[in-house]
Chains A and B, each alone.
Chain A
C-alpha cells in the first residue's frame, strides 16, 4: 500500500488538489513541480511488479513497470509539464486540475497490468477530459462536452462488458497480449479503438477537441488517443485488422483535414491521421513496427502539442479560429509562426525532426514484411501529412492573404513552452539515440542514410509543389464537412421530429383509431415516463389492487398451463 505513494499518478492527483486550492505564485509552482515529481517517480520505480492485490474476486496488478509503460509514462509526464507551463495564465480554475486528473489517469493506465485497473482509470480519464472541454465555459463547449462524454461512456460500457466477459472466459484479468478471437477480447479491442479515434466513432475527436479553451486542446491532444495506442500496443500487437483500421484512419484524417477551415479542427483530424500510422504499426506487429508505433507516439505528442500551442496562441491573441479570418499574422507573431513551422516540419517527418526518426520505422517494418501496398499507402500518406498539416496549417494561419490582423505575441510562459517543445522536436530528430534506447525492444535502426534522406525529401518537397500548384483547389470556404456525428446530432433528432410531425399530421386528419394507435406508439417512450403518465402517476387504490389481482391471476394461469 505504501508503494502507492511512489506512483506517479499520486503525484499528479495531489497536484490537482493543490492547483485547485492554491492561488497566484504558489499555484504556478505546484502546477510545474507536480509533473516533474511524477517524471522523477517514473524513473525511480524499479521494473517489475510493484503492487498486487485482490479486487472483485480477481488478482489485480495496479502498479507494475516495464519498458513500454515507462516510455509512455515518461512522455505523458513531460507533456503535463509543458501543458501546465503553457496554460499558467489560463483564467479557468477548473481546467488545470481536470487536466492533472486526466493525465494522472492516463499514466495510471500505463502502469496497470490488469484489465480492472485499466477500466477504472479509463473511466476517470473520460471524466477528467470531459471537464477539460467543459471548462472552456462556452455554450458550444458544453454541448460538445456532453456529446464527447456520451461517446466515451459508450466506450466505457464496451470496455466493461469486454473485461467482465474476459474474466468470465479466462478466470483472470491480466492485461497482456491478446488476440481478438473471443467475445470478450473483441469488446475490449472495440473499446480501445473508440478512444483511438477509429471509425466509425471517430467524429468525437474533431467535434470536441476544438471546442476546448486555447490551452485545453493542448492537453486533450496528448492523452486519450495515445493511451489507446499504448493499450493496443500491450493488448493487441500484430492483430491484422489494425493494419486496415490504421490505414483508413490515415486517409480519413488527411481528406477531412484538407476540407477543413477551422485551424484546430485541421489539427484534430490530423491527430486521427497520426494515430492511424501508429495503429498500422501495431497491426504490422514486428518488433520494428511496435518500436516505431511507440516512438511515433512519443514524438507525436510533442509536435502535436507544439502545433496546438501555436494554434492556441493565435486563438488566444486574436480570438479567431477560422483560416478564412486569419492570414498574414507572421508579421507580428514571428516566434509563434516559427514554432508552428517547426511543429509542422516535425509532423511531416522532415529529416532532422522527431517525426523523421519515428515514422520511418513503421514504413521500414512494412517494407521488411514485404507489404507493398501498405508501404505505398504509408508513403502517400506521409506526403499527405505534409500537405494537410505541414503546409496547410502554417500557410493559411500565418501567411496566405493579409487579414489585416496585427496581434502581439502571446505571454512569456506560452512562448517558453513553445520554444521548449520546438527544441525537443528538433533535438529528438538529431539526437535520437536516447529515445531509441528506451523503446520497448532493442534496436540498431539507423534513420539517416543518404538514400532515406533524399527519397524522403523528394516525396515531401514534391508534395509541397502539388500544394502550391493546386492552391486554387484548396481555397478555404466557410464550411464544415459532415462526419459520423451527423447521425447523432442531426439524423436522430430529425427522426424524432419526423415521427412527431407524422403523428401530428395524423391527428389533425381524421382521428381514426389507427392514427390514435400510431400516436400512442410514437409518444410511447416520453409520454409514459412523464410525471402525469400512466406509469408515473399516482394510481387509484382500486386500480393498484386490480393490477395485483391480474398479476396473481397471470402467475396462476401461467403455472398451471405451462
Chain B
C-alpha cells in the first residue's frame, strides 16, 4: 500500500519536483509546487513519526533489495524527530518565501531558487532517512550543491564569494567523509549502518577505523560548523537570499549534527570509540570554545544577519556540548535543542527577512535605529526569539539549557555548567544590542522609513515565535521525542 512506501515518498517527492519546476520555468508555478511539496513532505514526516512512536523502527528496503545489499531507509525515534524538524521548517518557510524572493531576485532566476529549494529539501530529508552511509554521501552532495547555488543567488557581490568558499569547504568536507566511509568499507565490506555497527565490533585491527573516525569527524564537523571549522557559515548566511537564510539557519547544520550523532552512537557505537578515545573531551572543549567565542564575536557585529549567524555557531556549540556529555540529559538537551534552536532561529531569520525587505536589502545596525516603533511586531518577535537564545525561562531555549546544565552536573562537570550559564549572559549582551538599537536609539535619516513587514510573513514568523514560547512551557512533545531519541542512541552504546 501507499502508506508502506512513505519513507521513499518522503525523499522522492521533493526530488522529482525539482526537474518539473525547471521544465515549467514559471516562477508562480515553481512557488506553488515548492509549497505543495514541502507541505506534503511535512505531512509524511509527521505520519512517519507517529508510526515510529506507535510501532517502533521502520525499515524500508528501497526497490525491494533487502539490506545490507540494497539501500535501506530507516526511520527511528531520532530520524523521525529530525524529519519533522526539516520538513516542518520547509513548510513554514516556503509559503512566505515568495514575498522576499520577488523583492530580492531577478524574475528569471526565481524558478531556479525554488528548484534548488526542493532539491535541498530532498537532500536533507534523504540524509536523515537513509540507513546507508554511501547513500548518505549522495544526499549530502545533493543538498550541498543546491545550497551553493541558493547562496550564490544572493544579489550582493559578496554572495558569489561566499558561495565559492562554502563550495570549497563543503567539498573538502564531503571528500573527507567519503574517504572515511571508504576505509570503513575496506575493513568491513558493508555500507549499511546497522550492519557496519555489528561488524565493526569484531574488527581487530583498529587503526584504519581510527583514521576513518578522524576523517568523518572532521568532515561532518565542517558541515555542522563546529568551532573552529565554522568560517564558511557567517558569510553564507549573511549574503544568501533572506528566505534561504531562514531555511538553512534552521535546518542545514541540524542535519549535519544528526549525521554526527548517527555515526558516534549507531555506526561507531559498538566500538566504544567515543568513550575509549578522548573524543568526548575534545568535543566538549571545542563546543565550549565555540559557544563562548562565537557569542563574543556576535556581540561585536555591526550587521544583524551576521550577528545572528555567529549566534548560530555558538548555539551549535551547545548542541555538540550535549552530545559530548553522552548521558541521557545531555543527549536530550542536544536533540531538543536541534528543534528549539531551529524554531527560534527560524523565527528570527524570517523576521529579519521582513526587515531587509523594507530596507532594500540592508541589515546593518546603523539602519535599524528606532525600528521598534516602525516595525513593532517584527522587533518584538526578534526580542522574544532573542530571549530564547539567552535561555530565559518560559522560552524554548530555557528547556534546552536546563537539560544541558542538568547533564553537565550529572557528569560532575561543574565548570561546564558554569560556562554554559555564563555564556548565556553573553547572549544577553548581543540580544541587548538589538533592543538598544531598536528601542532606545532615536531614528536618524539613514534608518528605515517604511512600516511593518507584509502580513503573511509576519503571520508565519509569529507562528514560530509563539511556538518558541509554547515549547518553553509545554515540553511533553519536544522533550518527549528528544528523550526517546536519546534513550535510543544510548541503547546503541551498550
A residues with a Cβ closer than 8 A to B are 54-57, 119-120, 123-124, 153, 157, 160-161, 164-165, 167-168, 183, 525, 528-531, 533, 535-536, 538-539, 541, 544-545, 547-548, 551-552, 555-556, 558-560, 562
A531-B302, A556-B211 as given contacts; A548 in contact with B479, CB under 8 Å:
no
Is B218 in contact with chain A by the CB < 8 A criterion? yes
| B232–A544 CB distance below 8 A | yes
A529-B297, A539-B231, A560-B207 as given contacts; A544 in contact with B168, CB under 8 Å:
yes
A161-B409, A161-B418 as given contacts; A556 in contact with B214, CB under 8 Å:
yes
Given the complex of chains A and B, what is the CA–CA distance between A439 and B225 in angstroms?
58
| A531–B409 CB distance below 8 A | no
Residues of A within 8 A of B222 (CB): 548
Residues of B within 8 A of A183 (CB): 414
Q: How far apart are B171's CB and chain A's nearest CB, in angstroms?
A: 10
| B217–A157 CB distance below 8 A | no
| A119–B393 CB distance below 8 A | yes
Residues of A within 8 A of B402 (CB): 56, 160, 164
Residues of A within 8 A of B483 (CB): 57
Given the complex of chains A and B, what is the CA–CA distance between A183 and B235 in angstroms?
44
Interface of chain A: mostly helix, strand, loop or mixed: helix
Residues of A within 8 A of B418 (CB): 157, 161
| B479–A57 CB distance below 8 A | yes
A165-B409, A529-B296, A547-B229 as given contacts; A562 in contact with B211, CB under 8 Å:
no
Residues of B within 8 A of A165 (CB): 409
Q: How many A-B residue pairs have CB under 8 A?
A: 114
- What are 10 A-B contacts defined by CB distance under 8 Å? A56-B479, A57-B483, A120-B394, A544-B165, A547-B231, A548-B172, A548-B222, A552-B215, A558-B282, A562-B277
Q: How far apart are A429's CB and chain B's nearest CB, in angstroms?
A: 40
| B403–A541 CB distance below 8 A | no
| B164–A545 CB distance below 8 A | no
A153-B425, A529-B296, A529-B299 as given contacts; A552 in contact with B214, CB under 8 Å:
yes
B233-256: which residues lie under 8 A (CB-CB) from chain A? 234-235
Residues of A within 8 A of B176 (CB): 552
Residues of A within 8 A of B394 (CB): 120, 124
A56-B399, A535-B293, A562-B277 as given contacts; A541 in contact with B168, CB under 8 Å:
yes
Is B421 in contact with chain A by the CB < 8 A criterion? yes
Given the complex of chains A and B, what is the CA–CA distance between A559 and B210 in angstroms?
7
Q: How far apart are B177's CB and chain A's nearest CB, in angstroms?
A: 12
A161-B418, A544-B231 as given contacts; A536 in contact with B277, CB under 8 Å:
no
**Residue in chain A with minimal CB distance to B303:** A531
Given the complex of chains A and B, what is the CA–CA distance between A167 and B306 in angstroms?
38
Residues of A within 8 A of B277 (CB): 559, 562
A157-B422, A536-B300 as given contacts; A55 in contact with B475, CB under 8 Å:
yes
Residues of A within 8 A of B168 (CB): 541, 544-545
Which bucket holds chain B's interface residue count?
A: 35 or more
Is B406 in contact with chain A by the CB < 8 A criterion? yes
Is B213 in contact with chain A by the CB < 8 A criterion? yes
Q: How far apart are A543's CB and chain B's nearest CB, in angstroms?
A: 8
Residues of B within 8 A of A529 (CB): 293, 296-297, 299-300
A120-B393, A535-B293, A541-B164 as given contacts; A551 in contact with B228, CB under 8 Å:
yes
A56-B403, A167-B406 as given contacts; A160 in contact with B231, CB under 8 Å:
no
Is B441 in contact with chain A by the CB < 8 A criterion? no
Q: How far apart are A167's CB and chain B's nearest CB, in angstroms?
A: 7
**Residue in chain A with minimal CB distance to B401:** A160
**Residue in chain A with minimal CB distance to B299:** A529
Q: How far apart are A11's CB and chain B's nearest CB, in angstroms?
A: 19
| A157–B293 CB distance below 8 A | no
Residues of A within 8 A of B476 (CB): 54
| B405–A164 CB distance below 8 A | yes
Could you give, for residues 450-474 of chain B, a 1 whenever the CB lies within 8 Å of some chain A CB and a 0 otherwise? Answer: 0000000000000000000000000
Residues of A within 8 A of B428 (CB): 153
Is B392 in contact with chain A by the CB < 8 A criterion? yes
Is B135 in contact with chain A by the CB < 8 A criterion? no
Residues of A within 8 A of B215 (CB): 552
Could you give, for residues 273-316 of chain B, a 1 whenever the CB lies within 8 Å of some chain A CB and a 0 otherwise? Answer: 00001100010000000000100110111100010001000000
Q: How far apart are B12's CB and chain A's nearest CB, in angstroms?
A: 34
Q: How far apart are A183's CB and chain B's nearest CB, in angstroms?
A: 8
Is B57 in contact with chain A by the CB < 8 A criterion? no
**Residue in chain A with minimal CB distance to B418:** A161
Is B169 in contact with chain A by the CB < 8 A criterion? yes
| A531–B393 CB distance below 8 A | no
Is B417 in contact with chain A by the CB < 8 A criterion? yes
| B393–A123 CB distance below 8 A | yes
Is B410 in contact with chain A by the CB < 8 A criterion? yes
| B172–A525 CB distance below 8 A | no
| B214–A555 CB distance below 8 A | yes
Residues of B within 8 A of A552 (CB): 176, 214-215, 218
| A160–B169 CB distance below 8 A | no
Q: How far apart are B340's CB and chain A's nearest CB, in angstroms?
A: 13
Residues of A within 8 A of B221 (CB): 551
Given the complex of chains A and B, what is the CA–CA distance between A531 and B402 in angstroms?
31
Given the complex of chains A and B, what is the CA–CA distance between A552 and B177 in angstroms?
12
B374-409: which residues lie under 8 A (CB-CB) from chain A? 392-394, 399, 402-403, 405-406, 409
| B417–A535 CB distance below 8 A | no
Residue of B207, B218, B278, B394 contacting most chain A CB atoms (<10 Å): B218
Contact partner of B300 among A54, A55, A531, CB < 8 A? A531
| B207–A164 CB distance below 8 A | no
Contact partner of B297 among A57, A160, A536, A548, CB < 8 A? A536
Given the complex of chains A and B, what is the CA–CA distance between A561 and B141 in angstroms?
33
A548-B229, A552-B176 as given contacts; A541 in contact with B405, CB under 8 Å:
no
A525-B296, A555-B217 as given contacts; A560 in contact with B417, CB under 8 Å:
no
Given the complex of chains A and B, what is the CA–CA distance between A525 and B207 in angstroms?
40
Residues of A within 8 A of B218 (CB): 548, 551-552, 555
**Residue in chain B with minimal CB distance to A57:** B479
Could you give, for residues 154-196 of chain B, a 1 whenever the CB lies within 8 Å of some chain A CB and a 0 otherwise? Answer: 0000000000110011001000100000000000000000000
A168-B406, A551-B228 as given contacts; A560 in contact with B210, CB under 8 Å:
yes
Q: How far apart are B434's CB and chain A's nearest CB, in angstroms?
A: 16
| B169–A164 CB distance below 8 A | no
| B300–A538 CB distance below 8 A | no
A161-B405, A560-B207 as given contacts; A168 in contact with B410, CB under 8 Å:
yes
Residues of A within 8 A of B172 (CB): 545, 548
Residues of A within 8 A of B424 (CB): 157
Contact partner of B214 among A120, A538, A541, A559, CB < 8 A? A559
A160-B405, A160-B421 as given contacts; A124 in contact with B214, CB under 8 Å:
no
Given the complex of chains A and B, what is the CA–CA distance between A503 and B178 in angstroms?
49
Q: How far apart are B271's CB and chain A's nearest CB, in angstroms?
A: 12
**Residue in chain B with minimal CB distance to A543:** B231
Contact partner of B169 among A161, A167, A525, A545, CB < 8 A? A545
Given the complex of chains A and B, what is the CA–CA distance between A449 and B431 in angstroms?
60
Given the complex of chains A and B, what is the CA–CA distance between A57 and B483 in angstroms?
10
A123-B392, A556-B210, A558-B278 are known; give 4 further A-B pairs, CB within 8 A: A123-B393, A168-B410, A551-B228, A559-B213
**Residue in chain A with minimal CB distance to B421:** A157
**Residue in chain A with minimal CB distance to B286:** A551
Contact partner of A544 among B169, B213, B406, CB < 8 A? B169
Given the complex of chains A and B, what is the CA–CA distance between A57 and B476 in angstroms?
9
Q: How far apart are B205's CB and chain A's nearest CB, in angstroms?
A: 13
Could you give, for residues 92-128 of chain B, a 1 whenever the CB lies within 8 Å of some chain A CB and a 0 otherwise? Answer: 0000000000000000000000000000000000000
Residue of A539, A552, A562 contacting most chain B CB atoms (<10 Å): A552
| B393–A157 CB distance below 8 A | no
| A164–B417 CB distance below 8 A | yes
| A562–B278 CB distance below 8 A | yes
**Residue in chain B with minimal CB distance to A525:** B296
Q: How far apart are B263's CB and chain A's nearest CB, in angstroms?
A: 14
Contact partner of B301 among A119, A124, A531, A555, CB < 8 A? A531
Q: How far apart are B420's CB and chain A's nearest CB, in angstroms?
A: 10
| B479–A161 CB distance below 8 A | no
